[in-house]
Every structure is written in structure tokens, then in C-alpha cells.
């Protein structure tokens, strides 16, 4: 036995010696000559929760960001840096803020030039704070919490809208939609999940809706996961609200919508804010009957922009479901690349300054002109969508609308 | 205070949900209750069954109820192989090892499925997904009514198997006196693996009956494991009728708890029952039969 082990050991050492020497030889003689001809790649750290409980969204973000990098490189890279290519450096935050921050620290030390992270608000708060220690530019792709940009970090930027704006927009638009139909909706019921997102939304809407003449008759909180929504739906049936407002993540949203359909709930409208499934093609495709007429206030692309539609098609050709994570992460990379381009350097100070003065054309989104205030793009806004005839249509604001609102629903 | 018009549908719905829980618990009561294998991989294996049903439907268009002919036998084979090839070998017959091995298995299975299937939640749309049966003014989704019947049939079949067949006798013998069973010539490894296989086969049945009204993702099993353990203890370890009754009770308690205490707090009813049973009737409702 001992002999056998020894013989293995010697073979392995021999192998290492040979291959090591060969690799060294190649390194000295071959590849560097090729590499020297290229400008150094610009490293972009992509940190997303690609495993853990929000892995689906994290993976969608990563795919969107990688598509943007591929597109930028295919178009010649960063021209002001001699056509330098963007190089993705990937990490998994596992859905945990502390791991996200640790990955930022590692990458910053390894010389990453900028970050696009972290999908959820909690992770984005941690990653941007860590990146601030080295002043490395950090774009938050999705995280909507207002506190992300309210901390005065000079390295943290967001091209998409924040929560305050989305919520205000949602309430105002609901009011407009209701008034346009002759104000038929007078009562609402809110069904929300128990974490910060659902509870925050429920509190905010409970406060704001009465100001618009809509009484909130009941607020029901549920756990994640909730295996069965029949009870909640029975309560909805007994209260007979005009509007049903769900604020929950994908799985629970789908179960709730299916149960409402099964229990033949009749309401004037189902309206959600950042609804977990309402603006998701997957839900609409799998359960067209349950999804029909559901309205949502969420991130969306400009359906009238050819560029946006091309990107959607490219993503779908790759087998991706074109959810907001995909295009928001895509935009975040675009914004960072634009800053490198205008700065003409990867110097952190200069890139942050370029980001702060960004006026990037974002006409592929339903946004106004890009204008950064404290790292937040003030031009960004959500839209209202509605599921109509098995497709997701933009119904509000009018300049981006692809269909007429159906309210009250039939 | 909710009125009667809600309470009746809620109780009926609790019964159908409880039947689904009972289906998951039936397999566990065989594995945990009879053989005392604390199978932490039960939820992960349910997830495997659900994926099997999902892919049979998505790729070959096989209806989940037709899949009853395919998935349970496959799950049985998987369970048999797991017990013979991994759990039995790695545990050396020690309970604490079994616990760690099944926990390890569940982690491996969940992460493998996360890698292969991604964290994407998948559900199937069948022609009867939105069909309802009207009973006492309540709309009960057809898939749940079928699952209710399925749970009754599965429990009866398992009871017959344990009471009337040689295999059932061998399993009971093994549960009572392992050495004695060996001495009278029972192939204990084979019988252990058969029981484990049967338990996992039950999960296959549960998966077929569950998917039309539920969804699958790599974490889906978590929601069922703790409840299944509660039902096994409540019903009495190893009692199939007990598991069925326990499942129905848990379903109704969950439904009424949700109605009266709110959806978040309603779940505590389940665990209150668990504690009360442990204090006042540690053998479970029908535990004396084991």
C-alpha cells in the first residue's frame, strides 16, 4: 500500500513540474506579447444573490448585466480608453448583506474599477457602503430603498427610481385612473407579506389612500411562504372591497391571484405596487386567466422605444424572461460604462464625478432626462402596467402607454 | 368576528389542505414513526418528486394524475437506492449518524436542484386548475378535492400493506425488535430499504396530487417538513390513520387560526397543539397501535 501511495506522489510531482515549467515557458515567451497590444480591461464587479431565497432575481440581474457588458464590448468597448473591454468579475452575495459587503472588499483589493450590485435594498446598502471605503464607483441596479442614496456617499448612484417616488406615483396614478372612470372605487383591502417591503407598502398606502377618497377596509398580513390563500380570499369575499392591493413576492402573489380566481372574487380592480408577479411575463404566460386585468406600478421599459424592444428580443432569444431585474441591471452597467467613456480614465474620483454629472440618454426607459441629485437619477420613474389579453401593457403615463386602461375590470 | 359564511368554507378548505399535509406525513410516519429514521431529507425529496411531475408535464405533456403511474414507482426506487446505497451504509445503524446523513442529503439535493433548475418557481396550468366543486356554499378547488380523496386512499393502502402483507409484518417486526427480526431470518437491510422506498414513494403520490394546486422551487420542501413531523407526532408515530387524522386537524387548525388570529399568528395554533400533545398524550392520538 505504502509503495503504491509513493508512486502516486512521485507521478503527481512530476506532472506538476512538467506542466508548471511548460506554463511558465508559455508565459514568458507567448501570451504577454499578445496581451501587451491590448489596452487593460476595465473590471466591473457584479455582485448579485445568485443563490439563496432571492436567487431567481439575482440571476436575472446577473444575466442583464452580462448582456450589457457583451453589447458594449461588441460595440468596441470603452473608446476613450483605446477600446478597452469591460471584464465582468462575478460574485454571489447569497442574499446576505454581509457576504455582499465581503465580496466588495475582496474585489476592491483586487483592483475592480466599479461595481454593479446588489438587487435587494438591504444588500445594496451594505455593498455601496463597503465600496465607499475605497471610493469605488457603485451603481445600485434595483434596490429601491430611499436610504441608499440619502447617506451622502459620493460613490453610490442609481439610475432607476427609488421607493418614495414609486409609492407617490402609484397613489397618484390610482387616483387618476379611478377618477377617469367616475370614481367608482371607494374601498380597498391590502394583502401584504410580513417583511419590510410588504409592511412598508401597506403602511404607506393605508395612510395615503384615504386622502384620495379610498377607504382601506382591512389590511391582512401573511407569512413567507404562505401555502394556502383560501382564508385570506374568503375574508376578501366577505368584505367585498372595490380594490384589492397585493404587496407580496412572486410565489405568494401567484397563489393569491389563482385563489382569487378560483373563489370567484369580484372586484373592480387588482392594483399592486412593485407587485411580485403582476409585471412578470412568466406569471402572465402560465396563468393568463388569473393575471388578466391586474394592474401594477413597477419598473418597466419604454414600449415605444425600438432600442428597448430590440433588447427585450435579444434577452428572450437567450431564453431569458424579460423581467425588470434584467433591464435595470443592464442599464446600471450602461451608466457605469458611459461614465468610464466620458471620464477617459478609470480613476475613481473622475469616474464618480462623471457619474454625478451623467446625462445619459435613457429614452429606452419611460424616464425623463437623466439628472443625478445625490446619486439618484431624478428623471427615473415607474409606470403603470396592466395585463391585457395575455400581454403586459403600459397604461400610464400616457406618453408611454401602449394600451387603454380597463377599469373597472370586467 | 368572521361570520358563518366564512367559517364553513374555511373549515372545508382546512380539511383539503390538511389532506395534502397528511399525504406528505404518511411517508414520514413510515420512515420516522416505524423505523425511527429522522429523515431531514423528506422535504428535499418531496421537491424532487414535484420537479419530476413538473417536467413530465412540461416536456411530455403528461397530466399530473397520469404521472401517478410513473412518479411514485420512481420515487420508491430512489428511496430504496438512497437507503441501501447511502443512508444505511453511512450511518452504521446509529440514529445520530442517520440524522446527519439525511440532513447532508437534503443540503446536497437542494443545492443540486438550485444549480440545475435555478431558483425559478414553476407551476403548471391544467384544464382543471380553476375548476371548483361547490359544497355547502363553499368553492373547493377540484385539485384539492382529488388530493383529499387521494390521501384517504393512500392511507388505506398503506394500512392494508402493513396489516395484511408479509412485508408489513416484517417492517413491524423490525420496528419492534431489530435483533429478533434478524434472528428469524428477515433480511433487515432489504426491509429497511423497502420501508424507506415506500415512504419516499408516498412523497411521489403527494407530489402528483399537490402540483396542480401548488408550485415547485428548490426551497419548496421547507414549508412542509416541520408540519409533517408535527402530524406524525400528533397522529401517533407509525399510525397511518393517525397521520391522516392529524393532517386534517392541523389543516383545520391552521385555517381557523388564520381566520381568528391573522395569517401570521394563525400558524402558532399548529405548534401549540404539538406542545399540548407532547405534554398530555406523548404517544399521539392513535399512538398505542404501534
Q: In chain B, which residues have their Cβ closer than 8 Å to the Cβ of A231? A: 10, 13, 255, 258-259, 263, 266
DSSP structure class, residue A392: E
Give the confidence band of A298 by pLDDT, cuts at 50, 70, 90: very high
What is the reported pTM? 0.78
Which among A330, A332, A325, A347 is positioned nearest to A138, based on CA atoms?
Answer: A332
Q: Is the dihedral of CA A112, A113, A117, A121 positive or negative?
A: positive
State the first-to-last Cα distance of chain A, in angstroms, to the nearest integer: 80
CB-nearest to B215 from A220, A254, A262 is A254
Q: Where are the domains of chain A?
A: 42-160+304-379, 164-298+384-400
pLDDT at residue B150 tops 80? yes
Asked if B219 and A53 come within 8 Å (Cβ–Cβ), the reply is: yes
Count of C-beta atoms within a 10 Å radius of residue A22: 10
The domain that holds B33 is classified in CATH as 1.10.3470
Query: Which CATH homologous superfamily contains domain A164-298+384-400?
Result: Response regulator (3.40.50.2300)
Q: In chain B, which residues have their Cβ closer than 8 Å to the Cβ of A189? A: none
Q: Scanning every residue of chain A, which has its alpha carbon at the shortest distance from the alpha carbon of B17?
A: A228
pLDDT at residue A121 tops 50? yes
Is there a cis peptide before residue B23, judged by omega within 30 degrees of 0? no
Whether A207 contacts chain B with CB within 8 A: no
Q: In chain B, which residues have their Cβ closer than 8 Å to the Cβ of A227? A: 17, 214, 223-224
d(CA B47, CA B110): 8
* Number of domain units in chain B: 1
- The CATH number corresponding to A42-160+304-379 among 3.40.190.10, 3.60.70.12, 3.30.2130.30, 3.40.50.2300 equals 3.40.50.2300
Give the confidence band of A112 by pLDDT, cuts at 50, 70, 90: very high
pLDDT at residue A344 tops 90? yes
Does residue B222 belong to any structural domain of this protein? yes
B52 — phi, psi (to 5°)? Answer: -60, -45
Cβ atoms of A150 and A125 within 8 Å: the answer is no
Question: Tell me: the pLDDT tens digits for B207-254?
Answer: 999 999 888 988 889 888 888 988 988 888 888 888 999 999 999 998
ipTM of the complex: 0.75
Does residue B126 belong to any structural domain of this protein? no
Q: Can you say how many angstroms the Cα of residue A221 is from the centroid of all Cα atoms in its chain?
A: 25
pLDDT of res. A37: 61
Residue B101: domain span: 4-119+131-289
Asked if A55 and B263 come within 8 Å (Cβ–Cβ), the reply is: no
Cβ atoms of A274 and A166 within 8 Å: the answer is yes
Asked if B123 and A287 come within 8 Å (Cβ–Cβ), the reply is: yes
Whether A250 contacts chain B with CB within 8 A: yes
Q: In chain B, which residues have their Cβ closer than 8 Å to the Cβ of A287? A: 123, 125, 129
Looking at per-residue pLDDT, the higher value among A39 and A244 belongs to A244
Does residue B124 belong to any structural domain of this protein? no
B217 vs chain A: nearest CA distance in angstroms? 9
Which among B44, B79, B85, B89 is positioned nearest to B197, based on CA atoms?
Answer: B79
Give the confidence band of A67 by pLDDT, cuts at 50, 70, 90: very high
Whether A53 contacts chain B with CB within 8 A: yes
Amino acid at each position: 500500500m505504502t509503495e503504491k501511495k509513493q508512486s502516486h506522489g512521485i507521478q503527481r510531482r512530476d506532472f506538476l513540474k512538467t506542466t508548471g515549467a511548460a506554463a511558465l515557458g508559455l508565459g514568458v515567451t507567448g501570451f504577454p506579447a499578445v496581451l501587451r497590444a491590448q489596452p487593460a480591461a476595465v473590471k466591473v464587479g457584479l455582485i448579485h444573490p445568485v443563490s439563496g431565497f432571492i436567487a431567481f432575481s439575482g440571476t436575472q440581474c446577473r444575466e442583464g448585466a452580462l448582456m450589457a457588458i457583451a453589447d458594449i464590448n461588441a460595440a468596441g468597448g470603452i473608446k476613450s480608453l483605446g477600446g478597452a473591454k469591460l471584464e465582468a468579475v462575478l460574485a454571489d452575495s447569497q442574499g446576505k448583506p454581509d457576504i455582499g459587503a465581503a465580496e466588495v472588499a475582496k474585489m476592491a483589493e483586487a483592483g475592480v474599477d466599479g461595481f454593479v450590485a446588489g438587487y435587494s435594498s438591504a444588500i445594496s446598502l451594505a455593498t455601496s457602503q463597503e465600496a465607499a471605503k475605497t471610493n469605488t464607483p457603485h451603481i445600485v441596479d434595483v434596490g429601491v430603498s430611499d436610504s441608499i442614496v440619502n447617506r451622502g456617499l459620493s460613490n453610490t448612484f442609481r439610475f432607476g427610481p427609488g421607493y418614495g417616488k414609486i409609492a407617490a406615483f402609484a397613489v397618484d396614478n390610482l387616483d387618476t385612473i379611478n377618477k377617469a372612470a367616475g370614481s367608482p372605487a371607494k374601498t380597498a383591502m391590502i394583502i401584504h407579506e410580513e417583511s419590510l417591503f410588504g409592511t412598508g407598502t401597506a403602511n404607506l398606502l393605508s395612510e395615503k389612500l384615504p386622502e384620495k377618497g379610498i377607504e382601506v377596509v382591512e389590511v391582512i398580513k401573511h407569512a413567507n411562504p404562505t401555502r394556502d390563500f383560501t382564508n385570506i380570499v374568503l375574508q376578501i369575499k366577505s368584505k367585498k372591497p372595490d380594490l384589492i392591493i397585493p404587496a407580496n413576492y412572486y410565489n405568494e402573489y401567484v397563489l393569491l391571484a389563482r385563489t382569487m380566481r378560483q373563489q370567484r372574487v369580484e372586484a373592480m380592480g387588482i392594483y399592486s405596487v412593485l407587485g411580485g408577479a403582476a409585471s412578470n411575463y412568466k406569471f402572465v404566460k402560465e396563468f393568463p386567466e388569473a393575471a388578466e386585468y391586474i394592474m401594477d406600478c413597477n419598473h418597466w421599459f419604454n414600449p415605444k422605444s425600438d432600442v428597448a424592444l430590440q433588447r427585450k428580443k435579444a434577452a428572450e432569444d437567450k431564453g431569458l424572461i424579460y423581467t425588470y431585474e434584467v433591464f435595470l441591471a443592464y442599464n446600471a452597467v450602461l451608466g457605469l460604462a458611459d461614465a468610464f467613456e466620458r471620464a477617459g480614465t478609470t480613476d475613481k474620483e473622475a469616474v464618480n464625478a462623471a457619474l454625478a454629472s451623467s446625462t445619459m440618454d435613457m429614452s429606452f426607459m419611460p424616464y425623463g432626462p437623466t439628472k443625478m441629485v445625490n446619486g439618484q437619477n431624478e428623471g427615473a420613474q415607474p409606470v403603470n402596467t396592466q395585463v391585457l389579453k395575455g400581454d403586459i401593457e403600459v397604461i400610464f403615463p400616457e406618453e408611454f402607454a401602449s394600451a387603454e386602461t380597463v377599469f373597472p375590470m370586467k | 368576528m368572521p361570520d358563518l359564511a366564512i367559517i364553513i368554507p374555511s373549515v372545508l378548505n382546512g380539511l383539503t389542505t390538511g389532506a395534502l399535509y397528511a399525504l406528505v406525513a404518511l411517508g414520514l410516519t413510515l420512515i420516522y414513526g416505524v423505523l425511527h429514521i429522522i429523515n431531514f431529507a423528506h422535504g428535499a425529496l418531496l421537491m424532487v418528486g414535484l420537479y419530476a411531475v413538473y417536467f413530465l408535464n412540461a416536456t411530455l405533456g403528461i397530466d399530473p394524475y397520469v404521472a401517478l403511474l410513473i412518479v411514485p414507482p420512481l420515487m420508491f426506487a430512489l428511496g430504496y437506492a438512497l437507503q441501501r446505497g447511502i443512508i444505511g451504509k453511512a450511518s452504521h445503524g446509529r440514529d445520530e449518524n442517520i440524522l446527519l446523513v439525511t440532513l447532508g442529503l437534503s443540503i446536497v439535493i437542494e443545492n443540486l436542484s438550485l444549480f440545475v433548475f435555478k431558483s425559478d418557481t414553476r407551476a403548471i396550468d391544467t384544464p382543471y386548475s380553476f375548476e371548483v366543486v361547490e359544497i355547502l356554499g363553499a368553492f373547493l378547488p377540484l385539485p384539492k378535492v382529488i388530493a383529499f380523496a387521494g390521501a384517504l386512499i393512500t392511507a388505506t393502502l398503506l394500512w392494508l400493506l402493513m396489516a395484511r402483507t408479509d412485508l408489513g409484518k416484517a417492517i413491524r417486526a423490525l420496528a419492534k425488535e431489530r435483533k429478533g427480526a434478524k434472528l428469524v431470518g428477515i433480511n433487515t437491510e432489504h426491509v429497511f430499504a423497502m420501508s424507506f422506498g415506500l415512504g419516499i414513494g408516498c412523497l411521489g403520490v403527494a407530489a402528483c396530487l399537490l402540483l396542480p394546486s401548488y408550485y415547485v422551487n428548490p426551497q419548496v420542501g421547507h414549508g412542509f417538513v416541520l408540519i409533517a413531523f408535527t402530524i406524525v407526532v400528533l397522529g401517533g408515530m407509525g399510525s397511518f390513520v393517525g397521520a391522516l387524522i392529524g393532517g386534517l386537524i392541523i389543516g383545520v387548525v391552521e385555517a381557523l387560526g388564520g381566520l381568528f388570529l391573522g395569517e401570521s399568528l394563525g400558524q402558532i395554533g399548529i405548534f401549540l397543539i404539538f406542545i399540548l400533545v407532547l405534554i398530555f398524550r406523548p404517544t399521539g392520538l392513535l399512538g398505542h397501535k404501534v
